[in-house]
Structure 1
Amino acid sequence: MGFRVNSDKILEIERSLSSLSDLNPIQDLLGYLNADGVDGRVKHKTLFVLQRVFSTLLVNGRILGLKSTSDNEAITLTKKWLLDKYTRFFNTLGTLFHSTEHSLRITSLHISMSLLRTESSYISNKTVPPSPQFAIDSFRRIVRPLLINKKPMFDDVRSEWLDKWIGKCDDIRYFFFKETIHLFREFDAVSSPRPKHLTSNVLTLLENLHSMPTHQSEIDEFWVPEIARQEKEQVKESNLEQSKQDNQDWTAYFDQMIADEEEEKESKATDKNSKKNKVRDTISLSAHRAMYSGVWLTMLKCPTGLDVNENRRALIVLHQLVIPFLKPSERASLADWLSDCCDAGGVNALLALNSLWRLMRDHNLDYPDFYKRLYALCDRNVLHVLYRARFFRMLDLFLSSTHLPALLVAAFIKRLSRLSISASPAAIVMLIPFTYNLLKRHPGCMHLIHSDRAVQGVDADMYTFDEPDPMQSNALDSSLWELASHQSHYHSSVNRLALILSQVFSKPNFALEDFLDHAYKTMFDTEIRRKIKTTPATYDGKSVGVFGGHKRKLDSIADVDEKNAIGSIQGDIVAQLFEF
């Protein structure tokens, strides 16, 4: 059913509401917003009219005014009726976040946040004594429709939400984290599947949030003015306290651990359903860090589990965005989840290694059998996955210590050499420099290339490929006959590079980054740009290069050496493909 209404009608209703004596037209305006047949421009005007009306009613105490003994029954009923319409308006704004019209989505988001600030300021000033407050109920009506819907969050809404609020305003970001945790726990408490796009929406926001404060002085911008004033009053006191902490003696570390434990106990003892808002926490760096890490940990520990894609997206950014903000007690909890990812194998196991290593290196995490698990990930799939380059960057880091046993390093070298037999040329080109660097870094493994078994091949190989423990694989009793076989590989780049293992190890280490991102395309591009130094036996003096035509005639071999670069000849490649 449609409504025959135009902009003039909306303006007429606004004039009738200017005196706030007859509030019944509010019902009509809300009806226009929820109707399907109303023009988008009319809905825009309706939104702004309702914003002005409800803002005025809020400031005048007509909606949320504290109950007074002078209020008669009529006033009480009116406030109840207006509160119901105000709530309904907020819910309508939430549905418009997912409107098909861009301007309606952005306008409804801005209006809802404007009303949130007006409401928060009102209840802050009316509290006895006046103190900063945050309209948490109205904020929840904004967060829930943003995160929960049948379709993913629109890019423009997400960008606006990040740029204008959670990426900029410290109080909005803090309470967004708090409400997101509450939302996750609401569904996890009954072990029911989370709404379809909830985790994906939160993950997308966290991936693009790059404004988490790392120092107390960075918490300086707030959406609610009263919270900003509180922050200015306490900034001097906070700076003084921070300077005292910076000058503490060596016992400060242990004092901080005790404080973190006490804070954690207090948070567990607090009633989850309490509606009291600790607004003062919005100016605390530790509170921001706790909420941020709480969102990540609550999201990852889903009883029904995350899907493979969500796990992968989280693992890609976990070591940079999350681990630096974790408390000691939370790091162990995250390590359990990372261990489960490693045990599951596959690409996610490769990505989980980076975070585990960060916990071990920077936070003294004791992770048993790390190299044994790492060894198990070196299977035939590791040379063909999308994250191959990232894995070998990490593997080079993990094997960089010169204090590792030679037998352990030899097991990795031998296993990768065996895998190279069925690898692509691009992977082999990466493995040879990787092996060369390991041999130079760990001279105890040089026996692998000097062994007599290198010429005897697989028949004299003592290495046990299926042994899960690298220390029991007999790698040092073997040889790198697999890499030696690549000296006769069909691809020129591979066989030339493999010759390096037969020469004196006097060259410096290879820059591994020059080889990690090789693929068929890069190798092909390199090959067709290679200069011809030796004229082919059947050269007719016309064709230049692999795909070149005969637009230029070369008179001599010297001309080829000086001028012929593959790809410099222009022409129809398809027509000239078989011209020799």
Structure 2
Amino acid sequence: MSALTGGAQGSKKRKKDANGTIDTTSLPSKRLAVEQDATATIQKLEDQIVESRKFYNNIATLLSMLNARTSKDEPNLTVAVALCRIFCRLIAGGDLKEQSRATEQEKIIVAWLKERCQEYQRALLDVIRQAEASFKVTALHLSMRLANARAAHLPGSETHVWLTGLFKGVFEALIEAREGESLRSEFVEQYLREYEDIRYYTFMQITVYAAERRNPEILERLIFIISQCDVVPQPEHEFTKSYVKLEKKDRNPLLSVGAHKKRAQEAWLAILKNELSDPQRKQLLRMMSHTIVPWFNRPELLMDFLTDSYNSGGSTSLLALSGLFYLIQEKNLDYPQFYPKLYSLLDADLLHSKHRSRFFRLMETFLASTHLPATLVASFIKRLSRLALNAPPTAIVAIVPFIYNLLKSHPTCTFMIHRAIHDKDWIAELEMEGMDDPFDPNEQDPTLTNAIESSLWEIEALQSHYHPNVAAIARIISEQFTKQAYNLEDFLDYTYQGMLIAELGVEERPFKKAPVIEFQIPKRIFTDRLLEEDRGEDTAPGSMLRQLWDFST
């Protein structure tokens, strides 16, 4: 760039007329002429290199033009593209490969070309790390094109290029690039999702790169890239989209579904072993079932991460439920404290959480088995009933149908609704003194809470709730259980906004009688009766109104 800059400065000097003013009319044409001269110079140097080996020193000239400016923010892209074409041509022609019977002079030339190629690669990586967004993207494409040429035309170097060579440097620069969001998105769209071999090698790079303890910002970028690989190949999948032509040889890992899943599994485990922040842990738990688990040949390897998340409490435990239950159900994971821990998650904060609907969906699955002990199911019913007393209306309308479904699928627990007492003396004593609720809300073991001996008086209390929808839905417990089950999805997404819209939907449900504002509607304002009560005081409201009326008329 120094040579181009020097030539440009000489041609950009502004001429002054006789009065000393600057002539600006020819500046655009002069700038265009300078750019055309620079492009012609670059093209001439490139053509000479292609023409004869004696012009190889032009490569050094072009490299100096690429790095002429001290800052990498605005590299000369024309030079960068020309150098990419030159090196791809040289690699394809075998000029960067040392022949077995080469002379000493030829070995020196090959070594010199390799050094210049390495220098060019480092320059591109510097651009990816430091330059502006548009320059970063161009440098990325040039680097990938060069990696393709090296892997395709240098026998035996394919593994080196993708694992320890140029692609390793490109990946690290991609992750470490400042303000590189658009660059990483470009890599995902143009290479990661498009080519299966690049996805395979990206998994391997993530595994190595994440093995060292990384800061949360770097982990966030790694999670973004690997989470974009959300399409898992099926066992019958045929690998046809590759960046470099693949050899159809036996045991080629790039053509094996199992090998791809193994690399993805290693990459995810390398990320999960890092010190994740709470938002990152929650993000991974949200995508666990549909993005992470399908890549695992051995999902039980996720046990430590899921159990640690489940034991951390709060919303993190809620998000870990689905993955942990999958391992228990499908992979026979031994977690004997699952239901006590699930019971401990039922607190007042849960009913105000944004994950409330997700938790109820999962709990419906967890408690669906008819082989669960009645004492355990009764504890969940009673705990939910107690929490419903202080829950928002949007949560209560989901709790009551949920309890109804549990009572329907576990008939033994219906004693909590009505238990006939045959001892007349005890009946008289209950009518006189009442009784204490045997339920122990402080007991952590759901099988020891005595909930089965209690009653659902909380639901009956909700039948007098201030909100008419809540009161109406609470009455289903007092009616005959003729309905097989309620569809919980009809109640989980209830919100305050939805309830308000339903109440204000006048056009859909018109009022039979117009509502009034006053409890007792007055017949007139400031009547004669008020005047009589004022007893003639001039400051009384009735007198003032009458005086105002007389004055106006």
TM-score bin (small chain): 0.7 to 0.9
Work out whether residues 253 and 259 of structure 2, in 8 Å CA contact, stay in contact via their aligned partners in 1: yes
Secondary structure, counterpart of 2:287 in structure 1: helix
How big is the shift at 1:10? 3.8
Secondary structure, counterpart of 2:447 in structure 1: helix
Report what 1:551 is aligned to.
none
How big is the shift at 1:216? 4.3
Work out whether residues 121 and 224 of structure 1, in 8 Å CA contact, stay in contact via their aligned partners in 2: yes
Determine if the alignment matches structure 1 residue 91 to structure 2 residue 126: no
What is the TM-score of this pair, normalised by structure 2? 0.78
Q: Match of 2:256, as an amino acid?
A: S
2:273 to 285, 301, 304: 301
Structure-2 change in CA distance of 1:451 and 1:33 (3 Å) = farther
How many residues were matched structurally?
A: 472
Q: Match of 2:87, as an amino acid?
A: F
Within 5 Å, which residues of 2 pair with 1:274-353?
280-302=252-274, 305-328=275-298, 331-353=299-321
Determine if the alignment matches structure 1 residue 104 to structure 2 residue 76: no
Work out whether residues 411 and 475 of structure 1, in 8 Å CA contact, stay in contact via their aligned partners in 2: yes
1:179 to 172, 191, 205: 205
Work out whether residues 106 and 157 of structure 1, in 8 Å CA contact, stay in contact via their aligned partners in 2: yes
Determine if the alignment matches structure 1 residue 66 to structure 2 residue 42: no
Work out whether residues 417 and 455 of structure 2, in 8 Å CA contact, stay in contact via their aligned partners in 1: yes
Structure-2 change in CA distance of 1:365 and 1:38 (3 Å) = closer
2:436 & 2:189 partners in 1: Cα distance?
64
How big is the shift at 1:536? 4.8
Report what 2:495 is aligned to.
519
Determine if the alignment matches structure 1 residue 57 to structure 2 residue 93: no
Q: Match of 2:169, as an amino acid?
A: R
Work out whether residues 129 and 178 of structure 2, in 8 Å CA contact, stay in contact via their aligned partners in 1: no
Q: Match of 1:327, as an amino acid?
A: N
Report what 2:192 is aligned to.
166
Determine if the alignment matches structure 1 residue 202 to structure 2 residue 228: no
1:417 to 385, 393, 397: 385
Per-residue displacement from partner, 1:267-289 (whole Å, max 9, x unpaired)? Answer: xxxxxxxxxxxxx2111221111
1:488 & 1:83 partners in 2: Cα distance?
85
Per-residue displacement from partner, 1:7-39 (whole Å, max 9, x unpaired)? Answer: 532431331232323334434544554536799
Within 5 Å, which residues of 2 pair with 1:534-553?
534-536=512-514, 538=516
2:431 & 2:266 partners in 1: Cα distance?
58
Determine if the alignment matches structure 1 residue 80 to structure 2 residue 80: no
1:516 & 1:456 partners in 2: Cα distance?
41
2:65 & 2:379 partners in 1: Cα distance?
72
What is the TM-score of this pair, normalised by structure 1? 0.75
2:287 & 2:433 partners in 1: Cα distance?
43
1:340 & 1:159 partners in 2: Cα distance?
32
Secondary structure, counterpart of 1:85 in structure 2: helix
1:17 to 26, 43, 46: 46
Q: Match of 1:66, as an amino acid?
A: E
Report what 1:364 is aligned to.
332
Secondary structure, counterpart of 2:516 in structure 1: coil
Structure-2 change in CA distance of 1:179 and 1:436 (3 Å) = same
Report what 1:439 is aligned to.
407
How big is the shift at 1:77? 4.0
Per-residue displacement from partner, 1:57-105 (whole Å, max 9, x unpaired)? Answer: 2123333x13534231x54444334333322332333343456644323
> Identity over the aligned pairs, expressed in percent?
32
2:168 to 128, 140, 148: 140
Determine if the alignment matches structure 1 residue 406 to structure 2 residue 374: yes
Structure 2: where are the runs of 5+ without partners?
A: 9-34, 422-429, 519-553
2:339 & 2:62 partners in 1: Cα distance?
66
How big is the shift at 1:159? 3.3
Structure-2 change in CA distance of 1:300 and 1:12 (3 Å) = same
Structure-2 change in CA distance of 1:383 and 1:361 (3 Å) = same
Work out whether residues 150 and 196 of structure 1, in 8 Å CA contact, stay in contact via their aligned partners in 2: no
Structure-2 change in CA distance of 1:218 and 1:160 (3 Å) = farther
1:394 & 1:471 partners in 2: Cα distance?
20
1:141 & 1:455 partners in 2: Cα distance?
82
Q: Match of 2:95, as an amino acid?
A: R
Report what 2:152 is aligned to.
121
Per-residue displacement from partner, 1:157-195 (whole Å, max 9, x unpaired)? Answer: 33332233222222111111111111122x2xxxxx414
Work out whether residues 150 and 197 of structure 1, in 8 Å CA contact, stay in contact via their aligned partners in 2: no
Structure 1: where are the runs of 5+ without partners?
A: 188-192, 239-279, 541-580
Q: Which moved more, 1:141-150 or 1:172-181?
A: 141-150
Structure-2 change in CA distance of 1:140 and 1:38 (3 Å) = closer
Secondary structure, counterpart of 1:312 in structure 2: helix
How big is the shift at 1:387? 1.4
How big is the shift at 1:360? 1.7
Report what 1:254 is aligned to.
none
1:7 & 1:207 partners in 2: Cα distance?
45
Report what 1:503 is aligned to.
479
Structure-2 change in CA distance of 1:414 and 1:107 (3 Å) = same
How big is the shift at 1:210? 2.6
Per-residue displacement from partner, 1:476-513 (whole Å, max 9, x unpaired)? Answer: 11122222211111112111111111111112422111
How big is the shift at 1:446? 1.0
Work out whether residues 149 and 197 of structure 1, in 8 Å CA contact, stay in contact via their aligned partners in 2: no
Report what 2:23 is aligned to.
none
The root-mean-square deviation of aligned C-alpha atoms, in Å, is: 2.9
Secondary structure, counterpart of 1:322 in structure 2: helix
